[in-house]
Every structure is written in structure tokens, then in C-alpha cells.
Amino acid sequence: MASTESSNPSDPVHVQPSHSVLNSSNDSVTSSPPNSYFLSSSENLGNILVTQPLLGMKNYQSWSRVMILALTAKKKIGFVNGKITKPDLDSPLCEDWESCNTMVLSWMINSMHVDVSSSIMYCETAREMWIKLQNVFSQGNGPKIYNLQREISYITQNQMTVTEYYTKFKRLWDQLLNYEPLPQ
């Protein structure tokens, strides 16, 4: 949508659309940063980015992980993590920001159960919605962490193949790390 160049080339918000250029001296391909406000013709308000809808605390962790992956692939993760902020109202990019923010809000709402989306539907920004979801559904992780630790400590191979055993262990371990990141 926006094709305005930034005076600051490191600014991820105000860049021109991505173009690949073939460098004739060494035949390498270089590319400029992508435009965070670009929406392809296949992207619309009815798109559903994740296959499993957010049901609540029950699947929030896995849903948020998949949503982050989907938004990152679409180069829209900055709208939920706060890296792409709303430009001033008099900025020529304000309308493009509004379009993209609305699109991300719609994608998020479309990937939630109606009981979940009805409580946060009136958020103005994708960032605001993301924070509200985190505040509501990532609370009370203590019992979940305890149950995961307990399940990991009692896991045995029994009749499982090595692959099945490893897969189960890895799934539990990854879930635990998602709740309880390793200390820095």
C-alpha cells in the first residue's frame, strides 16, 4: 500500500516495498527491507490464520505460538509486539497503518471462539488486543507448570516406540519451556 521511503533506513515502518536486485558484478541477490504496510490482494478480513481457534486458557499457549508464526510470516508481527506503532494522525502513513491494524485485528478475532472474541472485540489496536489476551489467559500458569513438570518426571517408555516416547517427551518439554523460559 504505502511506498513512501523513510529518511531513516533502519526504521521498519517507513520503508519502500521489497525489491530484489541482481548484482551483475557477483551475481548475488540483494533485497531491500519489506514494507510492513503491504497487503497482498489475497489477504482479506475473512482470512483465518490458525486452524485451531482460541478457546481460552485451555489452548492459549499453543494458539499464541501459532498466531505469532502466522503473523511473522505475513510480516505483521510488529502490530502485536509493539514494534510498529501508530503514526501521527497527520502522517501520510496513518491510513495505511489503520488498514493493516484492522486486518490484523480481524485475523485475530476470526481465529477465536465467539465466547473469547466477544470479550475483547472492541480493542482499538492489535497490540491492545494481544496484551488483553495475555493478561486474561496466561494467568494461573503455576498449576500448569507443576502438572507439566510432574508429567515429565513420571514419563516412561512402556509400550511406546522410541520415536513415540521421544515425541511425547519433547512435546511436554517444549510446553514447559514456553511457560517457563530458561533463565538468562
Number of H helices, E strands in the chain: 7, 2
What is the rounded CA–CA span in Å between residue 173 and residue 151?
10
Positive/negative CA dihedral, 95, 97, 103, 106: negative
Predicted confidence at residue 161, as pLDDT, reads 94
Residues in a beta bridge with 30: 21
In sequence order, which residues have a C-beta less than 8 Å from that of residue 59 and are 6 or more positions away?
Answer: 52
List the grid coordinates of 151: 508429567
Q: pTM to 2 decimals? A: 0.60
- Tens of pLDDT, residue by residue over 68-126, are 988 998 888 999 998 988 889 888 888 888 988 988 998 899 889 888 888 888 899 99
Report angle CA 75, 175, 159 to the nearest 5 degrees: 130
Q: What is the tens place of the pLDDT at every residue in 139-181? A: 656 777 888 889 999 999 999 999 999 999 998 888 777 765 5
Mean pLDDT value across residues 124-134: 92
Q: Which three cell numbers stand for residue 37?
A: 504496510
